[in-house]
Amino acid sequence: MQVHTLANQNLQLNAAEIEIRCDGPARQVDIEVVAETGSTNADLMARLPQLQCPVLRIAVHQTAGRGRAGRPWLTVPGGMLTFSLAWHLPQAPQHLLGLPLAIGVALAETLNTLGLSVQLKWPNDILRDGKKLAGILLESTAAQNGGTWIVAGIGLNLQVSDALEAEIGRTIADAPWLARMDRNALVASLLNALAPTLEQFATQGFSSFLPRWNALHAHAGQTVNILDHGQVLHTGVALGVDLHGCLVLQTTQGQVNVMAGDVSLRPATP
């Protein structure tokens, strides 16, 4: 494992301090900490052809962070934890549909053990008290020697100001308790969950994560709308997800399995 640190010491992010807290599969990951970058996902995606092992890249501040469907992910230094993990998987890209959900399970279960009560919103968000606490952006490219390199970007709100909420245009969740936690211990806890999750997905796919995801499903049994660019595609009761990570809806026309793509889920208004 190699470590590289250019951190803001006030935020106590240090690659070597994260490394000593890593165990199991996480110890094979090279860890990089930088004070600022445009996007940790973009940084790693550009380097995938040269990577020889998994890499975790953490930025104290991202100036061009991205969410799903190209939406911007606004950050403030110290108020959020933003990082990306590059990892090689043996599956072809078309067999990774459930991967964002498996990553969500790993993050949510870890946050719950750290004292938060969180749930999963299909397909890529973690909710606290019904509001977005964290998001996942998964990008991938076919590897030259087979399989797929993936880059999983994570944004976790730690302490959010009223000004940032106003800029985003909606209320979001944060976790002041985690904001006071040693950042290196927090990152190591998350990496210690993500690394074995990716190893497990490499051998078992999404099947072993399915019941765990459904147990954390924020909208189980609720009527929801599935939107595509603001237009309602489906309305139905959210039953859970299937073996491919598709959302299973019970609609008035019957059962529908919705693939993630760029669609989004919103609770249906009464």
What are 261-264's contacts with CB under 8 Å, separation 24+?
A: 262/68, 262/69, 262/228, 262/229, 263/226, 263/227, 263/228, 263/233, 264/68, 264/69, 264/226, 264/227, 264/228
- Choice among 57, 66, 132, 183 that is catalytic: 132
Pairwise CA distance, residues 14 & 8, whole Å: 9
What the block records as the tokens of 72 is 């911007």
132 given a catalytic annotation: yes
Q: Which two tokens stand for residue 30?
A: 């090279």
- The tokens describing 233, both together, are 């595609």
266 is catalytic: yes
Beta strand 80-89 pairing with 30-37: unpaired
- The Cα–Cα gap between 19 and 131 comes to 32
Which candidate in 68, 121, 128, 183 is catalytic? Answer: 68
Is 121 a known active-site residue? no
Active site amino acids:
68, 132, 266
